[in-house]
C-alpha cells in the first residue's frame, strides 16, 4: 500500500490544530479540502482517525497511533531542511520544551533560566495544558515536558520520566494580620479543585486542625500574593514565588508545607533533552 504523504500532512496539521477550520487556515486551503483529504486517508487505512464533534476533532485510538508516527516524520523533514540550508558547519539545535500551566504559575523564573543557557541550543518554550503537552511530546512535536504531579503511566509509555524537585509551600499573611491559633477568624483564598496544590492545602488544614473561612478560589499565585499583601486574607503558595514579597516585608510566612505533588520532567530520551533536564536539576542522570 502506497501512502499519500500529502494526506498524512493534512492529518498531522489537523491533529495539531484540533479543528478542520484551523487546519484549513494554516494550510491555506478550504475546510472542504481538508475534510476530503482526511476522509481519503481514512479510506486508505480502513479506520476512522478522528471523532468529529461540535468542539472539533478528537483523535481516536487509531488516530493517536498515527499521530505518534507523523510527529517524528515531519519533524525530521524540518530538521533536514534546516541542516541542508544552514550556513554554518554546526547548526543550532532547537529544543522544544513544554511547561504546564500549573508549573508556569508556581515556579520562579530563575528555575527555567538554565534552559536558555544550553550551548549551541535554541530553546523554544511553550506553556499549555499538561494533557496537550504530553500528546505533542508523544507525537514528536516537543522534546521535553515539565509538569506538576505524576502523569498516568499510559502517558509516559516509550518516554523517559524523572522527578526534578518537590515544591515547598508556605502559608502567608500580611505583616499586620495575626490569625487565631485555629485560623477561625481569618479568610483563606484556596485553589480550585482541579489545581494540584488543592489537595496539599486540604491535607495541611486537616493535619493542623485549622478551620479558616474560605473566601474564594484562585489559581494564579501572583494574584494570591497581592491579595494577601493587601490584608485580610491567608493563602498557601510555592515558597519560590513568595520569596520576593517576603524579603520586601510585604507579607510574612506563617507555616511551611512540603507539597505532595513533585515537579516531573518527561522527555524523548535524546542527548539534547537529557542535557536540558541535567541543567535544571544540576545533576547527572543515570544512563
pLDDT, tens only, 57-116:
888 989 888 888 887 777 666 666 555 555 444 545 778 888 887 777 666 667 778 888
Q: What is the CB-side half-sphere exposure of residue 40 using CA atoms within 13 A?
A: 16
Candidates 141, 138, 127, 5; CA nearest to 63 is 138
Decide if 255 contacts 170 (C-beta within 8 A).
yes
Q: Which three cell numbers stand for residue 147?
A: 509538569
What is the value of pTM for the model shown? 0.57
Percent helix, percent strand, percent coil in the chain, to nearest 5: 45, 25, 30
DSSP run (H or E) holding 16: helix 5-17
**C-alpha to C-alpha distance for 278 and 284, rounded to whole angstroms:** 6
**C-alpha to C-alpha distance for 127 and 99, rounded to whole angstroms:** 5
Sheet containing 144-148: give its strands across.
121-128, 93-100, 144-148, 263-267, 160-165
Start-to-end CA distance of the chain, whole Å, equals: 39
Q: What is the CB-side half-sphere exposure of residue 4 using CA atoms within 13 A?
A: 13
Can you list the domains of the chain with their CATH numbers? 5-67 (1.10.10.10), 92-165+267-281 (3.40.190.10), 168-258 (3.40.190.10)
Cβ contacts of 148 within 8 Å, gap of 6 or more: 100, 102, 103, 106, 130, 167, 196, 261, 262, 263, 264
Q: Out of 61-65, 201-205, 232-236, which region has the weakest mean confidence (pLDDT)? A: 61-65
- Using a pLDDT cut of 70, give the percent of the chain over it: 86
Decide if 77 contacts 12 (C-beta within 8 A).
no
User: Would you state the pLDDT for residue 3?
Assistant: 65
**C-alpha to C-alpha distance for 158 and 137, rounded to whole angstroms:** 11
C-beta atoms surrounding 63 within 10 Å: 22
**C-alpha to C-alpha distance for 260 and 135, rounded to whole angstroms:** 24
**C-alpha to C-alpha distance for 46 and 231, rounded to whole angstroms:** 63
Per-residue pLDDT tens for 131-143? 778 877 877 778 8
Per-residue pLDDT tens for 129-182? 787 788 778 777 788 898 876 666 666 667 888 888 777 899 999 999 999 999
Amino acid at each position: 500500500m502506497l501512502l499519500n504523504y500529502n494526506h498524512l500532512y493534512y492529518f498531522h496539521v489537523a491533529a495539531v490544530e484540533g479543528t478542520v477550520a484551523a487546519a484549513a487556515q494554516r494550510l491555506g486551503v478550504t475546510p472542504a479540502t481538508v475534510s476530503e483529504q482526511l476522509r481519503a486517508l481514512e479510506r486508505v487505512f480502513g479506520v476512522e482517525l478522528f471523532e468529529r464533534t461540535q468542539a472539533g476533532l478528537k483523535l481516536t485510538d487509531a488516530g493517536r497511533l498515527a499521530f505518534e508516527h507523523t510527529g517524528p516524520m515531519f519533524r525530521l523533514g524540518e530538521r533536514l531542511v534546516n541542516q541542508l540550508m544552514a550556513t554554518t558547519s554546526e547548526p543550532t539545535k532547537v529544543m522544544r520544551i513544554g511547561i504546564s500551566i500549573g508549573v508556569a504559575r508556581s515556579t520562579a523564573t530563575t528555575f527555567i533560566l538554565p534552559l536558555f543557557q544550553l550551548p549551541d541550543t535554541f530553546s523554544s518554550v511553550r506553556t499549555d495544558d499538561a494533557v496537550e503537552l504530553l500528546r505533542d511530546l508523544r507525537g514528536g512535536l516537543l522534546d521535553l515536558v515539565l509538569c506538576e504531579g505524576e502523569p498516568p503511566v499510559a502517558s509516559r509509555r516509550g518516554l523517559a520520566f524523572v522527578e526534578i524537585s518537590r515544591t515547598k509551600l508556605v502559608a502567608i499573611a500580611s505583616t499586620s494580620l495575626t490569625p487565631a491559633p485555629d485560623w477561625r477568624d481569618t479568610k483563606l483564598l484556596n485553589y480550585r479543585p482541579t489545581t494540584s496544590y488543592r489537595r496539599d492545602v486540604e491535607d495541611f488544614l486537616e493535619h493542623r486542625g485549622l478551620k479558616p473561612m474560605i473566601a474564594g478560589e484562585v489559581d494564579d499565585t501572583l494574584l494570591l500574593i497581592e491579595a494577601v499583601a493587601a490584608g485580610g486574607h491567608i493563602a498557601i503558595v510555592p515558597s519560590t514565588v513568595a520569596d520576593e514579597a517576603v524579603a520586601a516585608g510585604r507579607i510574612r510566612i506563617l507555616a511551611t508545607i512540603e507539597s505532595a505533588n513533585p515537579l516531573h520532567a518527561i522527555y524523548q530520551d535524546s542527548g539534547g533533552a537529557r542535557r536540558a533536564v541535567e541543567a535544571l536539576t544540576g545533576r547527572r542522570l543515570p544512563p
